[in-house]
Structure 1
Amino acid sequence: MQLYPTRTAAHLAIAGVAVMGAGLIAREPAIVGWGGAILVAIALARGVTLVSVARIRAAGFEMLWGGSRRILRSARGGTVEIEAEVRNRDTLAARYVKLRTIASSQLDVRIEPNRGEVSASGRLKVKVIVRTPRVGQHGLHGLALEVHGAPGLFEVPLTFANPYGIEVLPRPFMPYLTQPRGGRSHLLAASGKPGRVRGEGDDLRELREHQPGDPFRKIAWKASARRGTLLVREFEREERDVVWVLVDAAVELWAGPLGRAPLDLMIDEAAAIATRHLGRGDRVGLIVLAPGPRVTIAPDHGPGHGQKIAQALTVGCGTYDADRSELDESDVAARVIEHLRPLDARGLDDLRRGDLDRLAARAESMRARAPFSAPAPLGRSQRERTLRRYLASYGIESPARAEPDRRDPAMAIAESLTHIARVKPRASMVYVLASPPADAQLGQLSEAVRRLSRKAVHVVWTLPDLEPGLGPPWEAPRPQESDGDEGQSGPTPSNKAFQELAPIAAEAVLIRARVAQTRREAVLRKAGVRVVRLRAAAAPSRAADVAHDGAHPPQI
């Protein structure tokens, strides 16, 4: 249990020390005794606070989430509300000065009310409002209650470890997965190119005479009675596209403001494309590259397949793997210890410091209480994989690696396009969501695109726009303003020069990047690729809208 002095306690302690110092200088015992009495009173208040908080904890101060579910789904950018209840089983009321959540940094959480009082033997219901700016499986690990001890000189944080999971799906998948299913959606075929042929459908093609082998359910009894011969109904079947969606999930694409990074927008765009084609009855496949093939889902159709694609986009772009995370094994172990200690019955007191093998075993045994069932991420050893799996299962964030991937993703995209050209069923459309390829890889990529074009496969390339739009990242920190005669009177000349030159240099770099991107776009268009720029303010599924202006997108 840790106690933190309030500002009042700090001021009283400083005053007590100052009074004692003045008494010693003046050689006045009464003044020294007065200052010492202040310090003794502070020490007594600390002891009273320890006793009162220990009593609260022994009486059973606890926190419970409302409802029976421990996982809540939300769309990216949405807001959800969760009810929580704080129970005080003590005979004395407990006043708290701050109530906060212990949650993943990928969530924006606030509590109402965040301060108040829990009555004696009473309950306090609070509302936890969570905004979900980024896809993934994130955790609410519990609440922290800061209690004031009498007479308000010390604060004691009481932590209630109660894991709760927030699964954030790409925005277009939420309405798709919640819409009613059945009826005509089960009559749509799922392979081939758009066309109308004879088969199982819902549009009547013709009435013909019954032939051996025709099922009785196709007999048109009323028409047969009128004509005096058995007639059967022949329907038209709509053949559908086979669509592949390739997403470049390179770790550097997570750079940017939370919820507005390039990969945030690309995941939403991929989800919009997938849901649009699945809603038409097309077969949709998915490949997530990071930079090599990370997730591969063969083309299929139906709501169940949509669930698979949504899950792959939600967790397949995560940064829990050792080659995508900024955390090494010791950093992962530190986060596991911090999260596991309040959950463990013994508080990890029986674990020696540095014994990561026993820590991994203990973490694996506690994973049954986790809200998510996560696969083991990549690691340099089985022990590290176990610890990283604990983070993923509880939704504890793992920051993305600062260094970019060494391998150019364009090579992996070219290999994936070659694979798509060979596999069956034959693809009819391919969407690529990635940054523009480097000049060295344009030749290999163009050859893969031409191979698809010879098979009448249309390729649409969606890339993030280079427009900053999110605020200048080169902006220097503002100098501290002076208060009267204290401190500096303004920014130094070097700071002024940096503030003047940084925007100019950044604009020059941006112009150079635009020129390079325009040149690469021209090469892609020459190879038969339809290029679409993805802007932060653009409507979702821009590439899908372009692709459906006609039967197929025109080649430019």
Structure 2
Amino acid sequence: MRLTLSAGGILGVVLAALLLGFGLLAVSPTLLFLAACAALPPTLDALLGIAAPARFREGRLRLGWRAATSGRRLEAGRPVEIELTVRNPSAVPLPIDRADVFAGSRIVADRRSFRLPALPPGHELRHRLRVTPLAPGTLVLHGLLLWIATPLGFFRHRLYFPTPLRLRVLPPSFAARLPRPARARTDVRGPRPRLRAPGLAGDDADLREIRDHRWGDPFRRIAWRPSARAGRLLTKEYERHLPRRHLIAVEASAATLRRVAGRAPLDALAAEACARAEAALRAGDEVGLCLFDARVVRRLPAAGTRRTAAAVLDALLDAYHPVDRDTTDVPADELAQIVGRYLLLHERIETRVAVPGVSFHDRYAVAEAVLRLGLSPAAARRDVLGEDPEDALLRRFCLDRGIELPVQERYAAHSRALGIRAACEAAAEPGARAHELHLLTDLDDLEAWADLAPDLARLAARRIRMHCILPPPGPRGDDALHHVEALVRRRRRQRLARWLRRHGVRVTHAARPA
């Protein structure tokens, strides 16, 4: 176990080096004696730390942590308390200096809460750590690093516990809108009333009315008592409810993932999509989900079961962590290096090429190590686009372990229009045709939408009702430039709304996040 100098150790070594240097230059026995006295405590502390490695052995500590949520949802931008438990079964005290957490760039740790007290022998330490998630999605705390001080405090031992902790963080707008459907600014929220088939005598559903008996009506549906009172045959007519099929298409591109002042358009779009899914499921309809960029990235088939809402929510949170080849800016060889460094740090698996002076991870060795570790069932079932099977496996591993990959900075309106066209084709797919298409996008370029006029006409010909939901405007600035940009954006959306309404599309705006 390697020793690391602490802040006090650095000061002591620097002081001893300065005294030794001045003593040698001045040929002063006094300064040399003081240098020896200054170097004695760090040297003794290093010998004590090396001579007693059992005190700092990682296997003698037991560590566990979990999110202290108390039943509430985790929201982006709000601190989250992590309940840490450290158990010391040995007979000697372990002076814990501080702790560090290994996480991605979307999590910020409160350093004041990572100061831990010394752990007495045979005792258990319970402590609350505070971290703040900056973005929604499934965030992973990869592990915890404990710094154990030596007896005199000049050195520290580095103990790392690779215990991943997953946090499912929702956007701020989810908290107020997830339990119930939200209200629109211009239109009524929620799905349209369910279609009702023509009343047929003998259908096994709700009673609609009692009418005169007609030829062909089944005799078992004759209302005998009302017929006796009326003096003629009356038949009970029932009606059946046909559930509607809703397809919610959400744009998950770099344009909607980009954050400005801590907010992204995808936050409002995801909250709106989840609210519409909840409203449709409560009405007894079927809901499907489609996430698109320049193509359909992920597709959930329409269903009306209890698990549909949870599946929709999980897919929307996974949209914050893209891993596909055409949505991320990481080639296959660079991805292998990223995963190889992760395996070396967190799993202690060596995959580097055995060449002196070269720190290059073998791609196939990395893939074999990932196969030995295995994937979670959700990550193994995920359809991921990669250059080859090994690349797709590594991308699933990044999704499973929460390894962040840079997103392609692609904001071209043409490529985003291709994703909208793919979503329209998914809504009109034979055998799974949707009755309602809810398109949630941030594209307000009228020229790009003009190329989609044939697709909108095709949806209208197939009697597919389309709703276009735009995110709210971004954060307002106080300078004149922001006011001009907001005015131009509002005018562009107004022109787009008029054009879409002329093509039979209902246009609404998602509510502004809380």
Same-fold call, TM cutoff 0.5: yes
Retained in 2: the 8 A contact 1:100–1:114?
A: no
Match of 1:541 in 2: none
Retained in 2: the 8 A contact 1:446–1:524?
A: no
Change (3 A) 1:330 1:428: closer
Q: Give runs of aligned pairs for residues 100-115 of structure 1, distance below 5 A.
A: 100-107=100-107, 114-115=115-116
Change (3 A) 1:219 1:301: farther
Match of 2:153 in 1: 152
Aligned partner of residue 118 in structure 1, secondary structure: coil
Deviation at 1:141, TM superposition (A): 1.9
Deviation at 1:98, TM superposition (A): 1.7
1:498-537 CA-partner distances (Å, limit 9, x unpaired): xxxxx55565555444444443333223323222233533
- The amino acid that maps onto 1:152 is G
Retained in 2: the 8 A contact 1:464–1:534?
A: yes
Change (3 A) 1:39 1:523: same
Match of 2:183 in 1: none
Retained in 2: the 8 A contact 1:9–1:42?
A: yes
- The amino acid that maps onto 1:261 is A
Distance in 2 between residues matched to 1:50 and 1:220, nearest whole Å: 95
Distance in 1 between residues matched to 2:91 and 2:140, nearest whole Å: 33
Deviation at 1:329, TM superposition (A): 3.7
Match of 1:49 in 2: 49
Match of 2:298 in 1: 295
- Is 1:261 aligned to 2:264, yes or no? yes
Distance in 1 between residues matched to 2:157 and 2:151, nearest whole Å: 11
Match of 1:378 among 362, 378, 385: 385
Deviation at 1:223, TM superposition (A): 9.3
- Is 1:33 aligned to 2:33, yes or no? yes
Match of 2:17 in 1: 17
Match of 2:328 among 325, 334, 355: 325
Retained in 2: the 8 A contact 1:191–1:242?
A: no
Distance in 2 between residues matched to 1:380 and 1:250, nearest whole Å: 20
Distance in 2 between residues matched to 1:23 and 1:42, nearest whole Å: 19
Distance in 1 between residues matched to 2:147 and 2:255, nearest whole Å: 38
Q: Give runs of aligned pairs for residues 172-251 of structure 1, distance below 5 A.
A: 175=179, 193=195, 197=199, 199-202=203-206, 205-206=209-210, 235-251=238-254
Distance in 1 between residues matched to 2:101 and 2:502, nearest whole Å: 53
RMSD: 4.3
Deviation at 1:114, TM superposition (A): 4.0
Change (3 A) 1:297 1:318: same
Match of 2:399 in 1: 392
Deviation at 1:468, TM superposition (A): 2.8
- Is 1:525 aligned to 2:488, yes or no? no
Match of 2:187 in 1: none
Q: Which runs of 5+ in 2 are unaligned?
A: 181-191, 355-359
Distance in 2 between residues matched to 1:255 and 1:507, nearest whole Å: 20
Match of 2:188 in 1: none
Match of 2:88 in 1: 88
How many residue pairs get aligned? The number is: 488
Match of 1:465 among 458, 468, 472: 472
Deviation at 1:445, TM superposition (A): 1.9
Change (3 A) 1:446 1:524: same
Match of 1:360 in 2: 367
Match of 2:453 in 1: 446
Deviation at 1:448, TM superposition (A): 2.5
Deviation at 1:43, TM superposition (A): 3.1
Retained in 2: the 8 A contact 1:408–1:438?
A: no
Aligned partner of residue 17 in structure 2, secondary structure: helix
- The amino acid that maps onto 2:350 is L
- The amino acid that maps onto 1:86 is V
- Is 1:166 aligned to 2:167, yes or no? yes
Aligned partner of residue 451 in structure 2, secondary structure: helix
- Is 1:252 aligned to 2:255, yes or no? yes
Match of 2:186 in 1: none
- Name the TM-score, length of structure 1 as normaliser: 0.73
- The amino acid that maps onto 2:102 is I
Distance in 2 between residues matched to 1:317 and 1:384, nearest whole Å: 20
Match of 1:274 in 2: 277
1:372-391 CA-partner distances (Å, limit 9, x unpaired): 54636322233322222221
Distance in 1 between residues matched to 2:468 and 2:146, nearest whole Å: 50
Deviation at 1:58, TM superposition (A): 5.9
Deviation at 1:280, TM superposition (A): 0.9
Retained in 1: the 8 A contact 2:139–2:167?
A: yes
Aligned partner of residue 240 in structure 2, secondary structure: strand
Deviation at 1:120, TM superposition (A): 1.0
Match of 1:315 among 314, 318, 321: 318
- Name the TM-score, length of structure 2 as normaliser: 0.78
Deviation at 1:169, TM superposition (A): 6.2
Distance in 2 between residues matched to 1:31 and 1:258, nearest whole Å: 56
1:215-269 CA-partner distances (Å, limit 9, x unpaired): 99x9999999999xx9997544334433222211112321115862111221111
Change (3 A) 1:19 1:224: farther
Q: Give runs of aligned pairs for residues 389-538 of structure 1, distance below 5 A.
A: 389-404=396-411, 407-418=414-425, 420-421=427-428, 423=430, 427-454=434-461, 456-469=463-476, 508-534=484-510, 536-537=512-513
